[in-house]
Amino acid sequence: MTDTETLIERYDRPGPRYTSYPTAMEFHPGVGEAAYAERLRRAAARPDDPLGLYVHLPFCAERCLYCGCNVVITRKRHVAGRYLELLQREIGMVAQRLGGRRRLRQMHWGGGTPTYLTPAELRALFEAVGRHFEIEGDAELAVEIDPRVTTAEHLETLRRLGFNRLSLGVQDFTREVQERVNRIQSFDDTRALVERARALGFPSINVDLIYGLPLQRPETFRRTLQKVLWLRPERMAVYSYAHVPWMRVQQRRIEASELPPPAVKLELIASALDAFRAAGYLAIGMDHFALPEDELGRALADGTLWRNFMGYTVRHAPDLVACGLSGIGDVAGAYVQNERKLSRYQQAVAAGRLPVERGVVRSPEDELRRYAITSLMCTFRLDFADLEKRFAIDARRHFAAEIEALRPLADDGLVRLGEDGIDVEGDGRLFVRNACMVFDAYLQRHPDTVPRFSRTV
């Protein structure tokens, strides 16, 4: 087995996170409003199939420097009010084009900070969704919250509306790290919020952490881990900080010299893995962990885990529609992204147009490779018999070049290449993105001199 530093030197390179395949780098303006309308028409032809719905609520009162999301920073409340009016109009436009297909199996409100909105605004938005869609009784209803702005009334409103999963950001409880990334959040406030949510009966709480932030050290990060484990959330996500200052202007305020080097980053994530394993959590795909009794843990065990733009899910729906600024839907074989600039989004919806900016229509080969990559990201396994049944191919022959390209990872003990499939094993799970990149037919089309992705470690 090769030592850890050699593995980092060998495999730490830019690569996608594969929330989609093809990745957003392949989206283009040739997929616009007309293409989306046609995809919605095709989706409407399957009225009995359930849907997923993503709603983007982009507003924040201030900007966290590490953030890679599409956000609008403002304290002017009327800006959010106008946005909500148009968002409700877009939801109605999309529902109309879906005909009788209105059943929601999964809904996720992301941001930004959804709880930037008032409880009354959240309630009005939920009621607007309910006027156009039928929410299944056991649907997964998830919302991202910021403990710094979320009140007891917010929590009470969300629970009464039926939300059953909260996802809250922590990142790191170390004060000097928080100061460097402009996110001051105390453990006491976070604990009080979690305790209130438990008292209200939220069945699943997720906590997000980030490793690789400026001034992070293994000893201080371990203290953050201890505090988070004391909260005992059902799920946790531990993301590698993506330092992409060429894409995110605010990240230019982060001193690169203060970022932990790759070897230290690996020590940070290794400490998280050790702590979670000792506390009884299961590793769920890439970056995610869950208690065995949580739905994600059970889905991992029975093979029903899936991954989409809303993260890992147990309520997989064939199509995902997205509403709001920059939202990305996955409808009838195409990814479609809304306008990413607020003014253009508002102009389009006000004019009665679907606010589509770009997208990509997947080819049959894309669908095959998407499934292969998603399987590795969800289960750390690619089963050849499953591929052959689903896609009518000879898997070993079709992916002969990819299998050969994986041999260095196999020689390093990161993957197992078997007659029946491919397994990502042991430390290889830290490098699962590298294994997925082998199946990405688009990577070689872009020159390496153009920065596009964060590093894999």
pLDDT at 193 over 80: yes
Tell me which residue has tokens 């030592």: 3
What are 287-326's pLDDT values in tens digits?
889 999 998 888 877 777 888 777 788 778 899 999 999 9
Tokens of 348: 């389009």
The average pLDDT across 69-97 equals: 93
pLDDT at 448 over 70: no
Distance CA 200, CA 392 (A): 49
368's CB contacts (< 8 A; 6+ apart) are: 387, 391, 393, 398
Class of domain 1-17+363-457 as given by CATH: mainly alpha
Binned at pLDDT 50, 70 and 90, residue 262 comes out as confident
pLDDT at 450 over 60: no
Burial track 37-52 (b if 16+ CB lie within 10 A, e otherwise): eebbeebbebeeebbb
pLDDT of residue 455: 61
What are 348-369's pLDDT values in tens digits?
999 999 999 999 999 999 999 9
CATH 3.80.30.20: does it fit domain 18-321? yes
Binned at pLDDT 50, 70 and 90, residue 269 comes out as confident
pLDDT at 285 over 90: no
pLDDT of residue 2: 47
Distance CA 274, CA 91 (A): 44
3-class DSSP state of 441: coil
The average pLDDT across 234-258 equals: 89
Q: Do 211 and 237 meet the contact criterion of CB atoms below 8 Å apart?
A: no
pLDDT at 162 over 50: yes
Closest among 338, 313, 316 to 56, alpha carbons compared: 338
pLDDT of residue 429: 80
- Angle (CA) 232-233-238 rounded to 5° is 110
What are 19-64's pLDDT values in tens digits?
899 999 999 999 999 999 999 999 999 999 999 999 999 999 889 9
Distance CA 383, CA 376 (A): 9
Distance CA 190, CA 185 (A): 7
Tell me which residue has tokens 């499934």: 371
Tell me the sheet residues that pair with 238: 209
pLDDT of residue 452: 59
pLDDT at 187 over 50: yes
DSSP 65: T
Average pLDDT, the chain: 92
pLDDT of residue 449: 46
pLDDT of residue 13: 75
Tokens of 318: 């064939």
pLDDT of residue 16: 84
What are 107-134's pLDDT values in tens digits?
999 999 999 999 999 999 999 999 999 9
Query: Which runs of consecutive H residues, i.e. helices, occur in 118-243?
Result: 119-132, 152-161, 175-181, 187-200, 218-231
Strands, E assignment, 363-405: 381-383
HEC assignment per residue over 281-301:
CEEECCCEEECCCCHHHHHHH
Closest among 373, 375, 371 to 390, alpha carbons compared: 371
Domain boundaries, the chain: 1-17+363-457, 18-321
**Assign residue 332 a region: left if phi > 0, alpha if psi is -120 to 50, beta otherwise?**
left
Binned at pLDDT 50, 70 and 90, residue 237 comes out as very high
pLDDT at 1 over 50: no
Closest among 259, 283, 240 to 453, alpha carbons compared: 240
Q: Is the sign of the CA dihedral 40, 42, 45, 50 positive or negative? A: negative
What are 371-427's pLDDT values in tens digits?
999 999 888 899 999 999 999 999 999 999 999 999 999 999 999 999 999 999 887
For 397, counting Cβ atoms within 10 Å of its Cβ (0-12 exposed, 13-18 middle, 19+ buried), the class is: exposed
Count of positions (residues) in the chain: 457
pLDDT at 143 over 90: yes
pLDDT at 173 over 60: yes
pLDDT at 439 over 90: yes
Give yes or no on whether 1-17+363-457 and 18-321 have one common fold: no
Intra-chain end-to-end CA distance of the chain, in Å: 19
Query: Which runs of consecutive H residues, i.e. helices, occur in 394-431?
Result: 395-398, 400-405, 407-411
